[in-house]
Copies of this chain bind each other. A is one copy, B any other.
Amino acid sequence: MNLNEKKFLVVFQPSGRQGYVSEGQTLLMAAREMGVEIESICGGQQTCGKCKVVPDFGDYSKYGMVSKAEHISASGDDEQNHWLKRRREAGAQRLSCAACVHGDLVINVPEESQARKQIVRKSAVSRQFSLDPVVRQYFVKVKPAELGDRVGDWERLQASLSETHHLKDLRIDFFALRDLQTILRHGQWAVTVTVWQDGSCEDRREVIRLQPGYQEGIYGMAIDVGTTTVAGHLVDLRTGQILTTEAMMNPQTTYGEDLMSRISYGMMNPDGVAKMHTAIIEALSILLKRATHAAKLKPEDVVDMVLVGNTVMIDLLLGIDPIELGGAPFALVTHEALDFKGRDLGIKAHSGAYVHILPAEAGHVGADNMGVVMAESPHTQDDIVLVIDIGTNAEILVGNKEHLLSASSPTGPAFEGGEITHGMRAAVGAIEKVRIDKLSLIPRFRVIGQERWSDEMADEEIKAAGICGSGIIDLVAELFSAGIIDHGGKFVLDTPSPNFRPTAQVGEYVVATATQTSTGREIIITQQDIRAVQFAKSALYTGAKLLMERRGVEQVDRVLLAGGFGSYIDKQRAMMIGLFPDCDLANVYAVGNSAGDGAVICLLSGERRRRARELARWIDYVETAIEPNFQDRFVKALGLPHNSDEFPHLEGLIPERPPIIAEGHRRERRRVKGKD
Contact = CB atoms under 8 A, between A and B. Distances in A.
A146 B626 CA distance: 11
Nearest to A359: B152
Interface residues of A, number: 44
A372 B394 CA distance: 64
A550 B251 CA distance: 70
A319 B145 contact: no
Interface string A291-302: 000000000000
A148 B329 contact: yes
Contacts of A338: 177
A250 to B, nearest CB: 20
Given A155-B336, A181-B320, A321-B182, A331 B174 contact: no
A459 interface: no
Contact of A181 (B152, B175, B333, B621): B333
Contacts of A330: 147
**Top 10 A-B residue pairs of the complex, sorted by shortest distance between their CB atoms:** A145-B331, A152-B332, A152-B334, A154-B334, A147-B329, A148-B623, A152-B335, A174-B340, A145-B329, A147-B328
A539 interface: no
Interface in A339-374: 340-341, 344, 360-362
A153 B329 CA distance: 11
A673 interface: no
5 contacts: A146-B329, A152-B335, A153-B324, A153-B333, A177-B333
Contacts of A361: 150
Interface in A41-89: none
Contacts of A323: 181
Interface string A167-189: 00000001101101110000000
Interface string A547-579: 000000000000000000000000000000000
Contacts of A324: 145, 153, 181
A149 interface: yes
A510 interface: no
A625 interface: yes
A148 B626 contact: yes
Given A150-B621, A621-B150, A180 B329 contact: no
Nearest to A157: B334
Count of identical protomers in the assembly: 2
A318 interface: yes
Contact of A147 (B148, B177, B318, B626): B626
A458 interface: no
A124 interface: no
Nearest to A204: B204
A320 to B, nearest CB: 5
Interface string A303-327: 0000000000000001111011000
Contacts of A147: 328-330, 623, 625-626
A334 B153 contact: yes
A151 interface: yes
Contact of A178 (B151, B154, B155, B320): B320
Contacts of A335: 150-152, 155
A655 B338 CA distance: 75
A146 to B, nearest CB: 5
Contacts of A334: 152-155, 177
A616 to B, nearest CB: 9
B174 A344 contact: yes
A360 to B, nearest CB: 7
A336 B156 CA distance: 12
A522 to B, nearest CB: 43
Given A181-B321, A319-B178, A329 B152 contact: no
